[in-house]
Structure 1
């Protein structure tokens, strides 16, 4: 719960509490004093918070059964004349559990109130306003300032991960500064953007690089009744972020420092050199590349043997030669010769333990008519992969000034600068370098770092210091707001924002042992957003009738500019800019503009806070769509019934019960990067202006325009229940939703006579549905000890209802022979999204006789006969038997089947907080269940599919000779794309089989289920009376662990990687120590 400190660091008085206090002290007490009865009895004392011991300002103290009462002063103190010494006092404060205390003849009664878990988010932010949670008819999840502060996480997505039902956040990439993937209720689109809309202090912007320590609250709007007021941008849900503001009182200074140590979260089970040589040498005898196992035969056999000064250390020990220092020896399993080699663990070379420093400072306060908040932070993070880092400086300023009783103005300034060193090519560094053959040379004879196998299979240490890639990003938001109270119940607001985002990325390749080209490139992307919004709000109460009206308008203009250029041949490594490149390979620039104009309204009504009704309507016009379909209307309606407020309702233990229902429509107009012409200008068509004709500049249309192109529209229905039990000690929120997105954007083939290959049309439909459950409990609150629990779980499913009728069987997108596309993440009518399509593993043939008797034949688009005369389409002992779906003994596209789906069916989180006086222990777990991952990284290693890369320990169990019984097929050196056993994934290369591009098998389609120990925090807040002696307000020290462990059966680095694991930047584990000081 957010705590704002006054001049004595005490709870601030809210306006309604002040009015109530005046009435209590001057009105009701006078009435009580006139009553006959027992002799008056004087009671005094203090009311404080059980959480931090701070006085509660404005807490209510009432004599039970009467109107006699008072409120606490700025020190939390009260004094009250009660009718009799045997009366009972009722102490209450908003957000805390009320407490009844018998007077029992005492003159001094000090009371400690504990926070009410069900009321911590009493007021939540909604679209263009706020609302009491008990009056909500929408599905909204919240994270408050105190929780954000305690989590000590550096990204907004990390703050939300696992803490809100219906919100799936997966961290696929461990690159410092890289944002996770967010899906609210599964997203909404197949080809468009599925990330939610972020509104930070009223401005549409991305969440990247934003500092969570400046955030006061996060609200996640999930159903259409909550999001429809944002219309064309809201199909994927909306995240509302509100930054901190100052409150009247003396200046409060807060400083924090956190030091973090990070390390590789998980390691792959790779082979050491001795096992690698044993397996690779035998595997080479089975390869189509070579007809014998001689060293150095074939261009792809260099990792098996090469000259002493080459890129590999494995070679034959010369007669009379001793084993050199730093080398090991073994007998060649094929020739019997003595081999020498080095053993390098490339995971140790590629990854490191690093340090992260995070400093934050803020000041807030106010006096007279001015309130202010100023926060700044600096984050310095080294990545666990060598050569990677992330640095961020941020500044947040919020100032509110009340010019008069009617007029208030505010300013909002946010500036962020981030610098990042990133991999030049992630697939090379993480997909290849970290899995180099362990016999690859790390250092040259002169001690310098060796390049590795090649620039495509490099030494990661060499690659990180030679192939440079950095980015600098500046974000600036300038905002001004105005609020004018026209009448008592009529308020006008206006907001003007200017937001600019500039991102410059520069890359340079130093001259090195493999190339002297000195390639240089620069890419610049700039977006400028000018946003104006105005609203008019009216609210009125008529007895038990409460009415609130909102109307408003919104105008967003965004300008985009991109520039890119590349060159090579510079004279020195010291000058890394294009002006030093005599050869410019290319340069291009691009401009575009995007406009969105909307009008919206909302009406909310309740009767006696019992029957609740709300409706919204938004009209949006977007320049992204066809001239005939630029306008869209997005309505919503919701209702609630607080049954617990009915006179007939009484069930012991139920404190509050509300039923909710909603329906609404939203849209998705974000279906491509503005720099991607083919998607951004789908409605207007695309023109290629880089052509020449008869020596003159020329242009031609490359895509047919579609003036009828329109919105992807999502219709959503939601039913929910809010339940509070046992005096609000248990809070349960449950929701069921169903949403259908229609008019999906798809590319539909056109006849050749049209002059175009395809046209983009609105011709698809997909359904998402699910159930969400959140439970918060205050388990124990006894004396100084408290234990609370937060739990949420979501069950979700989806189905493709319609796809373009393009003549392919079952309208499949992503299958084989049925359509274009890939087997990873494909879709088909009547099936869930993000399929993994491939061949089903049955078993490994124990003998060649068994394989020949079975008669299975693998059909290739291209014949594959090795130089040793073996036709690899026939099966032999040690090969895989695939499931023959149609029984024709031919394994081909007709035998492909769905092996799994990439989206989790179940996800959620579970947190416990234990506190005793100033000591607090917080444990948080989150999970994802029911999804599958194609572990292409492992498949490539076990097939040596790119030559000279390591394998995993699976190969120690591989079939080796006739009669072996195992589930790991025989190893064949360089099995790339030949669909033999391990690697069924080819990428259309000359050595692979282009007809089998990007296809999986069940051998490496693995369950991605995980339970993550996400956060463990132990903190201690020093007693206030102690720190005050030092002139401070508070001191809190903590020890924090994050991403500590995954309980999972997945054999890759990260079970959150997504559908296809090609070897991304691995996740890191972190241990932090920190100190927060208030003064």
Structure 2
């Protein structure tokens, strides 16, 4: 009876099951050409049920449930999803998606596609950044770009890493790469990347060889790093987000030293007087270190309208160092907005505002903790030297003995407050009267104010009963105005694409410093220092893509710097490179293994104008210094006179390079090989010394 009931029930349910599990047929084609696509994947979303298209683009998919979603995918095309509601036939026309080689990448004063890059450069975007409680932007790309070294300048909180693009090439100048943030080249003597919230950065593009950097000639001998900050997309929904990262750091290993017992035994074994030893057992390294904490908070809001997009973010970072009394705090605010007036005019406003507080510890405590007597206590039991134990003689602290490590830390109060504002307005104007021509202009300012102090307690071993107080403050201002014309045109008669750029840049740097120091007779004002320099640049670039096979590119930069005398103020820098794109040839297309092949080579000459002392050929008057005077009656007038080297010249570097880019198995494996020869042609010199190749 039960068996008959089951059979009857199955007979009733069979039509329903047959309805719910149907067969779907169809064809997958290229949306542009209408041609069938062989091997396209057809899968029921979220299941293993799938098939692929045959030579004619046809497919048959069984067991499709009502309400299921069928996904059509093929390499190089945008996937398409269709909901099944009982159709017996579902056709799909797939749109070709831009390949990785069509991705737009930045170059000096412009952009190109990844396939047309002829020089050595690397782009690292936000998806590839290092993750975690990142404080400094440089930490985002550590280990992510070949030939780019990111190392810690120190263990001090807030001290940004040192970024080197290859080994760098300078004898007397700044070895740092030129950093350009949203089109604004930073002052290489004040390129404070820590003032930028890492959460606001979209990508890093590193220009490595001279043929790529020559267009920035005057400061490009050590590479160029282009930083782009995040912006919202047009026609996007309101998005609010909050993120927090928290990290704990500790000193993993201390330097191996003798503990108190071992130290007493050593003194005793040498037959020395052990009565001078203490009866404590102090681990001095443990006394000066702590478990450090780091918290990074970010709030972001972004919204895209039909013609305007806005992104705002607020960030707060608080980091305590592993060395007692060291720490770093940053409050940052960014606002980026893009507005399109029409299809021809786009205005972009970018800004980063930050307030930093950096607390310094006495680094001398690290060495003192290694050598200080472990049998002595931390505290002496009296109020002399702040209550800390110190080795003394009849006049005070013993000059040949180390200072109490904890006393060094706690007797120093040192801090630097830094306020930074970077603002930039970018105009992109497509000149419709001349197809392919556009004007791009930038007006930017990078303004920084700092205020620092260092106070040492008079009643301390380090202070030797004399108070130490130093106060310093100053401003740094970097102003930029540049513009360029870009012209792109396809010359069909010779199957060539042409890309031309010509423009100019004016940049002014102003630095002023003042301060005061406590002496035995009271506070004394430090000399007031003012330094202002100007850079003027004209640049041009031409690129030709011939038959999508051969790329020829050349760039030129003429620079003038007020840091040099009129005889040596101007210099010319240039670069040229070429590449053969074999990716689209039959050899690569039919190989089945090789998916990318490009051979490239180039030459460039770049410069360096960041001499240690600006205006070396003409000293700026500094009050309080011993400078020449001229007497007019009873009045004495300070003069300005040449100091040091008066015939300084630009430092110039030549670089030759060849390289090959290889991709295997649809670029799942990428290999980039490069060989570079670099030589210093001239370095900063005067009539007293020179080096010319």
| 1:897 matched residue in structure 2 | none
1:479-558 to structure 2, matched below 5 A, reads 479-487=424-432, 488-514=435-461, 515-543=464-492, 544-558=495-509
CA separation in 1, counterparts of 2:640 and 2:346?
A: 53
- SS of structure 1 residue aligned to 2:667: coil
* Corresponding residue for residue 541 of structure 2: 602
Whether contact under 8 Å (1:473, 1:501) holds in the other structure is yes
Distance (Å, rounded) in 1 between the aligned partners of 2:308 and 2:539? 32
Alpha-carbon distance, 1:228 to partner: 0.8
Match of 2:562 among 613, 623, 631: 623
Please show how residues 18-97 of structure 1 align to structure 2 within 5 Å: 90=74, 92-93=76-77
* CA distance in 1 between partners of 2:142 and 2:460 (Å): 45
Question: Residues 91, 354 of structure 1: CA spacing in aligned structure 2 closer, same or farther, 3 A cutoff?
Answer: closer
Q: Determine which of 704, 725, 745 is the counterpart of 2:684.
A: 745
Cα pair distance change 1:696/1:450, threshold 3 Å = farther
Partner of 1:775: none
Matched, 1:651 2:591: yes
Change (3 A) 1:135 1:703: same
Residue 371 (structure 1) aligned with residue 309 (structure 2): yes
User: Does the 8 Å contact 2:45/2:71 carry over to 1?
Assistant: no
Distance 2:71 2:246 in 1: 47
Shift of 1:709: 1.7
1:722 corresponds in structure 2 to 661
Could you tell which deviates more after superposition, 408-417 or 429-438?
429-438
The 10-residue stretch of structure 1 (508-517 or 356-365) with the greater mean CA deviation from structure 2:
508-517
Shift of 1:444: 2.8
Verify: 1:763 aligned to 2:678, yes or no: no
Partners of 2:427 and 2:442 within 8 A in 1: yes
Q: Which moved more, 1:534-543 or 1:716-725?
A: 534-543
Scaled by the length of structure 2, what TM-score is found? 0.81
1:214 equivalent to 2:200? Answer: yes
Contact 1:121–1:144 (Cα < 8 Å) also in 2: no
Paired with 1:222 and 1:79, the residues of 2 have a C-alpha distance of 42
Q: Distance in 2 between matches of 1:261 and 1:704?
A: 51
- 2:9 alignment counterpart: none
1:132-147 equivalences under 5 Å are 132-147=113-128
| CA shift for structure 1 position 354 | 2.1
Answer yes or no: is the 8 Å Cα contact 1:228–1:636 preserved in 2: yes
Residue 444 in structure 1 maps to residue 380 in structure 2: yes
1:474 lines up with 2:460 in the alignment: no
Cα 1:587–1:688 shift into 2, 3 Å: closer
Which of 116, 136, 142 is 1:161 aligned to? 142
Aligned-residue offset at 1:501 = 1.3
* Counterpart residue number, 1:681: 615
Corresponding residue for residue 664 of structure 1 = 604
Partner residue of 1:962? none
Question: How far did 1:250 drift?
Answer: 0.5
Contact 1:47 1:110 in 2 (8 A): no
- 2-structure distance, mates of 1:272, 1:444: 20
Q: 1:176 aligns with which of 154, 157, 165?
A: 157
What's 2:258 paired with? 271
| Aligned partners of 2:365 and 2:406 also within 8 Å | no
| Contact 1:500 1:527 (8 Å CA) reproduced | yes
Alignment equivalent of 2:214, drawn from 228, 241, 244 = 228
What SS does structure 2 have at the residue aligned with 1:208? helix
**Pairing partner for 1:409 from 331, 344, 347:** 347
SS at match of 1:391: strand
Matches within 5 A, 1:567-586: 567=518, 583-586=522-525
Query: Is the alpha carbon distance of 1:281 and 1:614 closer, same or farther for their aligned partners in structure 2, counting shifts above 3 Å?
Result: farther
Distance 1:436 1:252, change over 3 A: same
- Distance, in Å, in 1 between the alignment partners of 2:56 and 2:318 is 59
1:559 aligns with 2:510: yes
Are 1:380 and 2:326 matched, yes or no?
no
Distance in 2 separating the partners of 1:247 and 1:64: 40
Of 231, 238, 246 in structure 2, the residue corresponding to residue 251 of structure 1 is 238
Match of 1:400 in 2: 338
Q: Give how far 1:47 is off.
A: 8.5
1:745–1:760: 8 Å Cα contact kept in structure 2? Answer: no
SS of residue matched to 1:525: strand
SS for the counterpart of 2:560 is strand
Pairwise CA distance, 1:467: 1.2
Q: What displacement does 1:380 show?
A: 0.2
The structural deviation recorded for 1:279 is: 3.5
Instruction: Extract unaligned runs of 5+ from structure 1.
Output: 1-22, 33-42, 51-60, 69-75, 81-88, 99-104, 286-292, 296-303, 307-313, 316-340, 570-581, 673-678, 748-758, 766-1079
Give the Å deviation of 1:208: 3.0
Q: Is the CA contact 2:136–2:161 (under 8 Å) kept in the aligned structure 1? A: no
Query: 1 or 2 for the larger relative contact order (CA 8 Å, sep ≥6)?
Result: 1
How far 1:439 moved relative to its partner?
Answer: 2.2
- Are residues 345 and 44 of structure 1, via their aligned partners in 2, closer, same or farther at CA, if it must alter by over 3 Å? closer
In structure 2, do the counterparts of structure 1 residues 155 and 613 end up closer, same or farther at CA, with 3 Å as the change threshold? same
1:980-991 matches, within 5 Å, as none
Residues 887-1036 of structure 1 mapped to structure 2, 5 A cutoff: none
Structure-2 separation of matches of 1:727 and 1:342:
68
Residues 1:501 and 1:513: Cα distance change in structure 2 (over 3 Å): closer
Tell me, in whole angstroms, the C-alpha distance in 1 between the residues paired with 2:133 and 2:327.
Answer: 19
In the alignment, structure 2 segments of 5+ residues that lack a partner are: 1-28, 60-67, 81-86, 392-396
SS of the counterpart of 2:663? strand
User: What is the CA-CA distance between 1:657 and the residue it aligns to?
Assistant: 0.4
Does structure 1 retain, via aligned residues, the 8 Å contact 2:101–2:113?
no
Distance in 2 of aligned mates of 1:192 and 1:147: 32
1:421 alignment partner in structure 2: 359
Give the whole-Å Cα distance in 1 for the aligned partners of 2:381 and 2:691: 63
**Alignment length, in residue pairs?**
616
- For residues 131 and 182 of structure 1, do their structure 2 counterparts lie closer, same or farther at Cα, with a shift above 3 Å needed? same
Deviation at 1:746, TM superposition (A): 5.4
Report Cα offsets for 1:449-505 as digits up to 9, x if no partner: 515444973323222221111000111012111111102311111110011112211
Deviation at 1:235, TM superposition (A): 0.3
**Distance in 2 between residues matched to 1:707 and 1:691, nearest whole Å:** 19
Equivalent position SS for 1:92: coil
- Structure 1 residues 590 and 181, CA, compared in 2 at 3 Å: closer, same or farther? same
User: Once the two structures are superposed, what CA deviation does each residue of 1:693-739 show, in whole Å capped at 9, x if it has no partner?
Assistant: 89986768896555532111011111111111112211111111111
CA separation in 1, counterparts of 2:664 and 2:341? Answer: 45
Report 1:108-123 matches (<5 A).
119=100, 122-123=103-104
Q: How many angstroms does 1:646 deviate by?
A: 2.7
- Name the CA distance, whole Å, in 1 between partners of 2:42 and 2:288: 67
SS at match of 1:236: coil
Q: Secondary structure at the match of 2:566?
A: coil
Return the match for 2:626 from 668, 682, 691: 691
Q: Is the Cα contact below 8 Å between 1:151 and 1:159 reproduced in 2? A: no
Inter-partner Cα distance in structure 1 for 2:534 and 2:213: 20
> Structure 2: how far apart are the matches of 1:616 and 1:227?
9
Equivalents in 1 of 2:555, 2:44: separation in Å? 46
